[in-house]
């Protein structure tokens, strides 16, 4: 009798855990594009986006603010929109941009720009059930831009943090997803685009 009861008990536990475990929702924020219509600098640059930035992905699990059984896991695919945001900002800022796959200048360029994280990004999500299901997100993206002449010389660096957040967005679904969690990250990408535009006015330094 004990041998029969054990599989039944394990199956029941498994069912409870399946119902209470985190539900994964994919979140794919959109890239940001420069808003300022500035004249590009007459410079030819190679742009290297660090591989950690280009492939960055985060899974964040959180129970609702009221607690209880069950959680939401937001799967943020951030690498592609990060890379596109950086690329678009560079294209708007310089006369010619060559995307390079290594930390080295491509032919016919005068400067190398490297964009990377200065430390790990901070991404958070919140959601609730009370008063209707809703969700929001916040992000801090600590970035570093380095510049060096292709002929050699000193390396110039600028560091900054792009930030963004969203208000609680309500949904008719049982749990929030793309619509609720993407806006806060997209706000951080928009801030990244604007701050990169300012950095690219200073780096590379004027000859």
Q: What is the CATH number of domain 22-27+44-202?
A: 3.30.160
Select from 158, 144, 44, 46 the least CA-distant residue to 102.
46
Burial class (CB in 10 A: 0-12, 13-18, 19+), 165: middle
Domain definitions of the chain by residue range: 22-27+44-202
Kindly report the backbone phi and psi dihedral angles of residue 11, in degrees, each rounded to the nearest multiple of 5, phi listed first. Answer: -65, -40
- Asked if the model's pLDDT at residue 168 lies above 50, the reply is yes
- Asked if the model's pLDDT at residue 137 lies above 80, the reply is yes
The partner residues of 169 in beta bridges, in order of sequence, read 135
Tell me the three state secondary structure of residue 66: coil
Per-residue pLDDT at 69: 52
Per-residue pLDDT at 9: 39
Per-residue pLDDT at 64: 74
- Gap between the Cα atoms of 175 and 167, Å rounded: 16
Kindly report the backbone phi and psi dihedral angles of residue 77, in degrees, each rounded to the nearest multiple of 5, phi listed first. Answer: -95, 90
Choose between 174 and 123: higher pLDDT.
123
Minimum mean pLDDT range among 166-170, 180-184, 192-196: 166-170
In sequence order, the 6+-apart residues with CB closer than 8 A to the CB of 134 are 127, 128, 168, 169, 170, 171, 176, 180
Exposed e or buried b per residue across 71-99, where buried means at least 16 C-beta atoms within 10 angstroms of its C-beta: bbbbebebbbbbbbbbbbbbbbbbeebbe
């Amino acid at each position: 009798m004990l041998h029969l009861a054990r599989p039944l008990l394990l199956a029941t536990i498994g069912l409870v855990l399946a119902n209470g475990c985190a539900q994964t929702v994919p979140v794919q924020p959109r890239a940001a594009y420069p808003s300022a219509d500035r004249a590009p600098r007459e410079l030819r640059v190679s742009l290297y986006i660090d591989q950690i930035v280009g492939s960055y992905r985060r899974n964040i699990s959180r129970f609702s603010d009221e607690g209880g059984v069950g959680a939401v896991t937001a799967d943020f695919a951030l690498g592609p929109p990060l890379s596109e945001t950086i690329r678009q900002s560079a294209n708007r800022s310089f006369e010619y941009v060559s995307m390079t796959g290594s930390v080295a200048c491509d032919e016919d360029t005068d400067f190398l720009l490297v964009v990377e994280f200065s430390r790990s990004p901070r991404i958070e999500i919140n959601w609730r059930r009370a008063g209707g299901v809703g969700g929001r997100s916040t992000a801090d993206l600590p970035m570093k831009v380095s510049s060096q002449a292709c002929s050699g010389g000193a390396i110039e660096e600028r560091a900054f943090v792009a930030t963004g957040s969203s208000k609680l967005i309500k949904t008719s679904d049982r749990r929030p997803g793309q619509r609720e969690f993407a806006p806060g990250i997209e706000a951080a990408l928009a801030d990244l685009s604007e701050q990169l535009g300012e950095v690219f006015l200073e780096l590379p330094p004027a000859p």
